Amino acid sequence: MMAPMSSNACTGRGFVRFVAAWVSIGAGVSCGDNIRPQQSPDAGSRDAGADAAADAAAVTCPAPAVSEGAGCVLAADVDLATRGTLALDSFTSLDCRGRRIFTSMPGTSITQRSNPEVGVLLRGTQGVVLKNCVVDGFDFSVFAVDSKLPTGAAADPVMLEKLANKLVANTITGRYTAITLVAIDNTRILDSTIKFTTSGGQGILVLRDSDLNQIRNNDISVQLNTDTTGAVKLPGPVLIAGNQTGGTGAIYVSQGTGLPNLLTAVIAGKLHQWSTRATPVADDSFGADNVIEGNRIISTDPLNDISVSVSQRIVLRDNQLGKARIGILFGAATYGVSADFPGTCSGDLTRFCFNGGAANRVCTGDNNISCSVDTDCGASGTCATNECFISGIDQTSKGTCAGKTTQQVYWISDAAIVEGNVLTGPFSTGIQVTGSRVLVQRNDIRGPVAPGTDLTLNGTGIDLRRLAVLSGTVTRNTVSGFPAPLRILNNAPSFGAKISLNDFGAGNAHVFTNSATFAGEISVGRCSGNTTMSCSRVAGGVDDPQTTTVDESTDECASLGFGACENRVGNYWALPCSTLGGFDGSKVIVVGAGSRVDAQGVVTLNGPASSRIVDRNPFGVPVAGLATPPTTLAGGFCSAPP
């Protein structure tokens, strides 16, 4: 199996010594025109604090910055059109003092890029500080790549602080992406104003195996230009990078959903490659433990505010999110699909590839056929980049491409925390979650739903799909202003979500679903034999004891030997206990074709009611903000006291 593509580091001056001794976990360093991590043994331990201090003392300020005190300052605005990308070495502290880093040769289309494409580059760096800078005019204004933490550093707060890259109090605008992190750990983006200008771009993009990064207290917005030629995720000619793709929005954290499992980029004249490890299930070789907190996303309509894909243990907390297509989206496009993984070139085993041969462009079905456009290939596939002979990088072919593999993958986000966020629409959907073991709590999600929304796909405040239906926890949220506050989609193996103590506001429906047979109890109890164990399934079925579908055939407490599921509490559905017992079963709708919100905001809802999804323990008063929910009918608990 190919080596995991997780990190690399190649810079000048003091950091060469630093990198040589501190090799990242499972990764080595290869410096040259083709920058690509290799597998290597752990480099062992050393006095990290002393070496970090020594490397910091050895830093030379990059021209035209000048030395002042312990850092570097910018004395005037700087145009990089003739200077090229400004690369910062490890432990450089650059204070721009409000001055501008820009290019007088901005890009205008996907074929006419800015010169240079990247404004400020952090390549394999640790301990960089970039503050009080205005960076604009570039396709990619700040680009940070290939720096993984050394063994043990993640558990050492002192070393995390010493080694952190910090982008603080900057104003950064990118035509495609303002700030990009690829295969990089421990970078902090703080207290900045961030904008992007091309549809299909992002404010902040976090790709591949990027861990322990923090995005806090930033203002992020989009100011779309008139360019309709598309966007790319990485620098380099689009035919080399192979990364042209649709838009995501203000913040996007992903292993690379929608992109190939081999990413190739040209940054400041050097070739970079990043591959995803060929594993059927996402693990910690994917991005993990990132934090997105306290940001204000003004408007990324018609894109998403925050998108997450195949991320482990991410935290989204206390963000203020405005008008967008979806406020918070956890995607699942890589779950249960066939994925292709690259091989290597026969003449250079450090070069990853999907295609190889003697020409710069070859047909995917037959690498011996050179091509310029897809029609040149006929029945032999499509015309694609030949990674073994890249124009402008290679003088001769590096051979043929061998070792490619294909396998089924089940990649999905796991153990996310989504809490305390305020979402103010319009949205098509407020929060859509597909990942496993996701906690969605104490969010305030306000509509209205965006005009033109197709209700068969969207239109709810909280939308649970796939593994979120099986294992998600949704509690103490407030949802208002949507045609339905909640959607439960029947594409999970069973229902096991824990949904309780939410305030679900009045709408055209209580719950949207896509199946008249999928069953679930929207309340949460405790196991009688282990009161620390919560439960949501009850033996005998939700409505029809004769059914034998998986999700209702057994009490989950009993199946674990913990007694029965008891003392259940549900949610508030904007009904008093005196009205239908606090929950209207006719408002659980199997949404049918033609259900939509028109341009004037009028809702058309087609489809039958389902008796299979119920809340048998609702409240007649709001409960999301109560430390102790009511336990009697008089106090607002509509069923028997818990």
Which residues are bridge partners to 519 per DSSP? none
- 3-state class (DSSP) for residue 34: strand
Mean pLDDT of the chain: 86
If one compares 562 and 181, the residue with the highest pLDDT of the two is 181
Confidence of residue 347 (pLDDT cuts 50, 70, 90): very high
Residues 67, 197: one domain? yes
Both 384 and 422 in one domain: the answer is: no
**425 and 399: one domain?**
no
Q: What is the pLDDT of residue 402?
A: 93
Are both 549 and 591 inside the same structural domain?
yes
End-to-end CA distance of the chain: 54
pLDDT tens for 407-447 read: 999 999 999 999 999 999 999 999 999 999 999 999 999 99
**Residue 519 contacts residue 612 (beta carbons within 8 Å):** yes
Tell me the mean pLDDT in the region 442-467: 96
Name the residue with higher pLDDT: 274 or 29: 274
For 373-405, the pLDDT digits (tens) are 889 999 998 888 889 998 888 999 999 999 999
Residue type, 552: E
Per-residue pLDDT band at 619 (split at 50, 70, 90): very high
* 189 within some domain: yes
Rounded Cα distance, 465 and 330, in Å: 10
Summarised one tens digit per residue, pLDDT across range 207-236 is: 999 999 999 999 999 998 999 888 889 998
Say if residue 549's pLDDT is above 90: no
501 and 366: one domain? no
pLDDT tens-digit profile of 64-100?
Answer: 999 999 899 999 999 999 999 999 999 999 999 999 9
What are the start-end ranges of the E strands in 76-148?
78-79, 86-87, 93-95, 100-102, 118-123, 129-131, 134-147
When comparing pLDDT for 147 and 361, which is higher?
147
183 and 5 Cβ atoms separated by less than 8 Å? yes
pLDDT score of 502 more than 80: yes
**Alpha-carbon distance 425 to 450, whole Å?**
8
Domain count, the chain: 3
164 inside domain: yes
Domain assignment of residue 353, yes or no: yes
Does residue 444 form part of some domain? yes
Q: In this structure, are 355 and 496 located in the same domain?
A: no
Lowest mean pLDDT among 46-50, 199-203, 387-391: 46-50
> Which pLDDT value is given to residue 244?
66
User: How far apart are alpha carbons 232 and 212 in whole angstroms?
Assistant: 25
* Residues sharing a CB contact under 8 Å with residue 554, sequence separation 6 or more, in sequence order: 537, 539
Q: Within a domain: residue 551?
A: yes
Q: Which of 247, 302, 328, 592 is nearest to 450 (CA)?
A: 302
pLDDT band at residue 3, thresholds of 50, 70 and 90? very low
State the DSSP H helix or E strand holding residue 161, giving kind and residue range, or none if neither: helix 157-163
CB burial string 177-196: b at 16+ within 10 A, e below: bbbbbbbbbbbbbbebbbbb
> Range with the lowest mean pLDDT among 54-68, 80-94, 606-620?
54-68
Within a 10 A sphere around the Cβ of 283, how many other Cβ atoms?
A: 12
**pLDDT reported for residue 14:** 35
* Residue with the two structure tokens 């002393």: 50
Tokens of residue 104, six digits:
């007088």
Report pLDDT for 288.
96
Rounded to 5 degrees, what angle do the CA atoms 144, 232, 351 make?
65
Q: pLDDT at position 5, please?
A: 35
With respect to residue 510, please indicate whether it lies within any of the assigned structural domains: yes
For residues 143-159, average pLDDT:
94
pLDDT in tens, 278-325: 999 998 899 999 999 999 999 877 899 999 999 999 999 999 999 999
Q: State the pLDDT confidence band at 24, using cuts at 50, 70 and 90.
A: very low
Q: Which of 300-314, 357-371, 522-536 has the highest mean pLDDT?
A: 300-314
pLDDT of residue 209: 95
Q: Are 488 and 538 in the same domain?
A: yes
Residue entry with tokens 């966020």:
421
CB-CB contact of 182 with 145 (8 Å):
yes
H helix runs in 191-314, sequence order: 238-241
Average pLDDT of the segment spanning 114-118: 97
Contacts of residue 636, Cβ cutoff 8 Å, sequence gap at least 6: 577, 619, 620, 621, 623, 629, 630
Is 412 domain-assigned?
no
- Chain segment 248-274, per-residue pLDDT in tens: 889 999 998 888 899 989 898 899 999
Distances (CA, A) of 420 to 51, 293, 306, 439: 40, 10, 14, 11
Find the domain containing 186 and state its range. Answer: 15-219+229-266
Domain check: are 206 and 87 in the same one? yes
HEC profile for 341-388? Answer: ECEEECCEEEEEECCCCCCCEEECCEEEEECCCHHHHCCCCCEEECCC
Q: How far apart are CA 636 and CA 626, in angstroms?
A: 12
Question: Are 395 and 433 within one domain?
Answer: no
Contact (CB, 8 A) for 248 and 302? no
pLDDT at position 22, please? Answer: 35
Alpha-carbon gap, residue 4 to 633, rounded angstroms: 59
Query: Residues 184, 43: one domain?
Result: yes
The mean pLDDT of 460-474, rounded to a whole number, is: 94
Instruction: Work out the percent of the chain whose per-residue pLDDT is above 90.
Output: 64
Look at residue 524 and tell me whether its pLDDT is greater than 80.
Answer: yes
In this prediction, residue 640 has a pLDDT band, given cuts at 50, 70 and 90, of low
Give 393 or 557, the one with higher predicted confidence. Answer: 393
Same domain, 519 and 387: no
> Do 447 and 513 fall into the same domain?
yes
Q: What are phi and psi of 258, to 5 degrees?
A: 85, -5
Q: 291 in a domain, yes or no? A: no
